[in-house]
Amino acid sequence: MCGIFAYVGRQKAGGILLEGLKRLEYRGYDSAGLAVADKDKLRVIKKKGRVEVVAAKARRARLQAVMGISHTRWATHGDVNDTNAHPHLSDDSKIALVHNGVIENYASIKKFLESRNCSFQSQTDTEVLASLIAYHYAKEQPEEGKNRFLESVRKSLHHVEGAYGIAVICADYPNEIVGARKGSPLVLGVGNGENMISSDVSAFAGRTQNVVYLDDGQVVLITRDDFSVTTMMDESVQPVINRVDWEIEESVLGTFSHYMEKEIFEQPTSLENTMRGRFSDDGSTAKFGGLNIAARDLRQIDRILFCACGTAWHACLVAEYLIERFARLPVEVDYASEFRYRNAPLDKNTLVFVISQSGETIDTLEALRESKRKGFRTLAFTNVVGSTIARETDGGIYQHAGPEIGVASTKAFTSQILLAAMVALYLGRLRDLSFNDGTEIVKALKKTPGLVSQILDQADKIKAIAEKYADSRDFLFLGRQLMFPLALEGALKLKEISYLHAEGYPAAEMKHGPLALIGPECPTVFIAPKGEIFKKNLANIQEIKARKGPIIAITSTGSDFPEDLADDIIFIPQSHECVTPILAAIPLQLLAYYIARHRGCDVDKPRNLAKSVTVE
């Protein structure tokens, strides 16, 4: 959450900072701001609202500085207003700071500083850290050859409890920026005659593809021509420069109205990329290069635990069904935020998987760390190369879905389901899944991108259905077995971007409470593809119809779905059961998108939400 971008180079910093912030706005859009070093003083421009509001103010200011920091905020401490916007100045105006994360002991630090006659303007924990750095800067008498600014930051952070990713500038050091991280992502961009710091590599698009991923407890000092990385104990770190593997065009909106729309329609390509090179030569199983666990060790696994948050948690539920079905292994799914705090008894032969699109979700990261702390082999699905989860896990699988900018996950979700099916296939073939069954699944998975394209061709029809129900206040999403997680996901998508109340349930549970909601004003989206419980689904739909509830049915072609049973029917191609969850996700995404668009909602930047959740 929140976006940080800092720049030092030879060009005017103002426009470059604002360009970087626009690429980061999906991480937080309550307010935005920047600070630059202008001769011997710091100049701050910040405002409640979107980046464009700050950009207009900055253009009028005609900034000339070649160094500065910037921030787009998702509020944690303090109201959404101009004063609480970042950057924050220290009480003496020597230090300016932008910050992601939460400083848990800020109140005690603030009390200490107030006892030293320090005053505060905002309600934020960030301003407290800025003034703490200024306090140590005023007192600091570093050893000969040490950087006074850098050492004051390092010393201050020794007193901080909580999570942070920060970029700091000092009026007396107009050509230097200090960054540090603990529990919140921070990346160094290495350019030609310029260097940058950001919370996300997307801010570097068009300027550099060379990046250094900072680890927790590391501090970086950048100038336009050089950089150094050290630990909190002032130990030198030899940085590894990585190359970002996607181009700027991948994060450009192009002809689409919203990033969410673009990413929905990119799914045939993203699914193809997720599969590429990951099937055996004989076409009977999947293969993965980064699991770092031998097949003979995987055969000893008795149980699998999946941990994730939000949409990724729904992908875990799909994985549970698929792995139990094809690999005959018991699977448990836990919210990462719950797992990290409860003392879950796990068998020694348990394998833990975590799933996070960004690779930075704080609860999922901490669940990973808790699992490893207890000695369990822990693997991950993630979409971002070099992310913290990717670097800390024992092994894992990259999604290769490409950058996902829209806050509501679409192509990352279907990519995660696809990987879940491939893992189920792989584990099944290590056990008792036959060669013929394996080849049947591989053939089905390879057809998935084309089948998704067929559903996307129905976008206009789905748009008309969405607009028909867009003024409803409540929705129910129902499904059984593999379709239950899709019901949860469909409800979540609608809630996220249209602000409508929606609930997902197993269809058979409807009679145990949710049926009370049914009536002419509450549409039900029923996911009922062809399969062994198809007739059970039809019976549940009859129960809704008997109570005058409008029904939008999602079913398979050739399923013999009675035309008069639903008010509207969306057909998805008949497919193998491991592919059906992916296909069912597409109309759910389109329904949510078109409903939100019809209601005039900001689809890519839904209120109160941010793309990457890096605070508890």
CA 139 to CA 134: how far, in whole Å?
Answer: 9
* Winning range, highest mean pLDDT, from 112-126, 459-473, 516-530: 459-473
On the question of a common fold for 249-446 and 457-604, the answer reads yes
CA atoms within 13 A on the CB side of 173: 20
pLDDT at residue 553, rounded to an integer: 96
When mean pLDDT is compared across 152-156, 259-263, 482-486, 543-547, the lowest value belongs to 543-547
User: Catalytic pick from 2, 170, 316, 522?
Assistant: 2
Residue 615 clears pLDDT 70, i.e. is over it: no
Q: Kindly indicate the confidence band of residue 253, based on its pLDDT and cuts at 50, 70 and 90.
A: confident
What DSSP letter does each residue of 65-86 carry, written as one string?
-SEEEEEEE--SSS-SSTTTSS
What mean pLDDT is predicted for residues 180-186?
A: 91
pLDDT in tens, 546-596: 888 999 999 999 888 998 999 999 999 999 999 999 999 999 999 999 999
What mean pLDDT is predicted for residues 508-516?
A: 84
Residue 252 clears pLDDT 80, i.e. is over it: no
In the residue annotation, 611 being an active-site residue is answered as: yes
Please state the CATH superfamily assignment of the domain spanning residues 249-446 in this structure. Answer: Glucose-6-phosphate isomerase like protein; domain 1 (3.40.50.10490)
Closest C-alpha to 60, from 3, 18, 119? 18
pLDDT at residue 250, rounded to an integer: 63
pLDDT above 90 as % of the chain: 69
> pTM to 2 decimals?
0.85
CA 41 to CA 43: how far, in whole Å?
Answer: 7
Residue 611 clears pLDDT 70, i.e. is over it: no
CA atoms within 13 A on the CB side of 413: 32
In the residue annotation, 2 being an active-site residue is answered as: yes
Average confidence score pLDDT of the chain: 91
Domain ranges of the chain: 3-244, 249-446, 457-604
Task: Please count the other Cβ atoms lying within 10 Å of the Cβ belonging to residue 340.
Answer: 21
Residue 26 clears pLDDT 80, i.e. is over it: no
- The class that CATH gives domain 3-244 is alpha beta
User: Catalytic pick from 47, 182, 495, 611?
Assistant: 611
Q: Kindly indicate the confidence band of residue 514, based on its pLDDT and cuts at 50, 70 and 90.
A: confident
Residue 25 clears pLDDT 80, i.e. is over it: no
Residue 354 clears pLDDT 90, i.e. is over it: yes
SS3 content of the chain, % helix, strand, coil (to 5): 40, 25, 40
pLDDT in tens, 376-415: 999 999 998 888 999 999 999 999 998 898 889 999 999 9
- The class that CATH gives domain 457-604 is alpha beta
